[in-house]
Structure 1
Amino acid sequence: MSELQNKAVTLATQEEGDLSSQLPSDRCAPFLRSALDLHFALGGDDEALDALVHAHRSADRLRVDAAVANVVIELAVASHLNDIDMVQATYNRLDVELGNPRHSK
């Protein structure tokens, strides 16, 4: 795993306790909350959300690796359009939460 991923898991462990007993499906709600935060931060609204949920229910389910890749690509595009370095933004949050200003700018 990358340094960034290890730090993110460390933060989640500090906030939630031991993650080793969690199932991957236990991350659905926390992930969706974060995705919804981004949806609304980008200017999305309830109507668009409802339409997406309704349309997506009938879509084929992806493998986890493909879905993760799609999320990272969309994060990169959203970051680009908002002139944000997505990795630096993540380090900034992790460094504040974990008390390590090494990467903060």
Structure 2
Amino acid sequence: MSELQNKAVTLTAQEEGNLASQSPSDRCIPFLKSALDLYFVLGGDDATLDALLYAHHDTPRPRVDAAVANVMIELAVASHLNDIDMVQAAYNRLDVELGNPRHQE
């Protein structure tokens, strides 16, 4: 795992306890909450969300690695359009939360 991923797992374990007992499906709700936060802050609305949920219900499910890649690509584009370095933004939060201040670019 990358340094960023290790720090994210460390922070989550500090906030929620040992992650070893969790299954991947246990992360569905926290992930969806974070994704919805981003959706709405980027200008998404309830009506479009409802339509997407209805339309997406019968869509074939990709493999986990493909779905993660899709999320990362969309996150990169959203970050680019908002002039944000997505990796630096994550490090900034993790370093503050973990008490490890570092140079913020």
TM over 0.5: yes
Q: TM-score range by the shorter chain?
A: over 0.9
Instruction: Quote how far apart the aligned CAs of 1:66 are.
Output: 0.3
- 2:49 maps to 49
Counterpart residue type for residue 3 of structure 2? E
Between the aligned partners of 2:79 and 2:103, the Cα distance in structure 1 is 18
Between the aligned partners of 2:43 and 2:15, the Cα distance in structure 1 is 28
Please give the per-residue CA displacement for 1:55-99, whole angstroms capped at 9, x wherever unaligned: 100100110000000000000000000000000000000011001
Counterpart residue type for residue 10 of structure 2? T
Contact 1:79 1:85 in 2 (8 A): yes
Give the gaps of 5 or more residues in structure 2.
Answer: none
- What is the root-mean-square deviation in Å for CA atoms of aligned residues? 0.8
TM-score when normalising by structure 2: 0.97
Instruction: Quote how far apart the aligned CAs of 1:102 are.
Output: 1.6
- 2:23 maps to 23
Q: Percent identity?
A: 79
- 1:98 maps to 98
Between the aligned partners of 1:16 and 1:103, the Cα distance in structure 2 is 27
After superposition, residues 4-83 of structure 1 pair within 5 angstroms as: 4-83=4-83
Instruction: Quote how far apart the aligned CAs of 1:103 are.
Output: 4.3
- 2:88 maps to 88
4+ long deviations beyond 6 Å: none
Between the aligned partners of 1:103 and 1:40, the Cα distance in structure 2 is 30
Instruction: Quote how far apart the aligned CAs of 1:104 are.
Output: 2.8
Give the gaps of 5 or more residues in structure 1.
Answer: none
Count the aligned residue pairs.
Answer: 105
Between the aligned partners of 1:97 and 1:104, the Cα distance in structure 2 is 14
Highest relative contact order (Cα 8 Å, sep 6+), 1 or 2? 2
